[in-house]
Amino acid sequence: MATMKKDKLLLLSCCAPCSIGVIHDLYTQGVDFTVLFYNPNIRPESEYIRRRDENKRICDELGVPFMELAYDNDSWIQATRGFENEPERGKRCDICFLLRLRGAARFARENGFTRFSSVLGISRYKDFEQVCRAGQQAAEEENIPYDLTNWRKNGGEQRANDLARKHHLYRQNYCGCHPRSQE
């Protein structure tokens, strides 16, 4: 009889304030999961490092595995060229979400995970459905399921905000890209 593969989730995170609530929930539920930081969209690099280190800090505190994929902002700029003036939630974000979720899906498939998900849609500034569409496309391309859980529901955003305050997390005031600086 074939043995079922043990559930193992890869969670793509954009920053500590967006992910802390989900990380705490998954940890409390005893889910086997790893946090992946793959955000070549963040500019400048010093900001990228600051967000990455803050995200790693909260994972280290709980003993949750934290992985990082290479920071390649040049490739991100190339992928989004021509869409610099799109508003947030527009076509540039479609490309940006897909690029990052594709990277996460590939990493998940190649490293023994059974599913992947992300916190990219947890903020009220984001279009959750837009993130889901990109996640599903990446899932189909890489042949690994995307978990569509809406982490914002059931007070998720408020819980994340409370935890972020409690842990004195650094909170940035922009998503990641600086469209005007590319002009």
* Residue 41 makes contact with ligand SF4 by CB under 6 A: yes
3-state class of 15 per DSSP?
A: coil
Residue 176 interacts with ligand SF4 (CB under 6 A): yes or no: yes
Residues 172, 175, 176, CA angle at the centre, nearest 5°? Answer: 95
> Per rule CB under 6 A, is residue 34 in the interface with ligand SF4?
no
What minimum distance in Å lies between the beta carbon of 44 and ligand SF4?
13
93 binds ligand SF4 (CB under 6 A): yes
CA atoms lying within 13 Å on the CB side of residue 170: 15
User: Residue 121: which of 104, 97, 103 has the closest Cα?
Assistant: 97
Tell me the C-alpha distance between 173 and 57, whole Å: 20
Is 177 a residue that touches ligand SF4 (CB under 6 A)?
Answer: yes
- Smallest distance from ligand SF4 to CB 3, Å: 39
> Considering only 18-26, 58-66, 85-93, 142-150, which stretch makes contact with ligand SF4 by CB under 6 A?
85-93
Task: Find out whether 109 and 143 touch, Cβ atoms under 8 Å.
Answer: yes
Comparing CB distances to ligand SF4, the nearer of 44 and 112 is 44
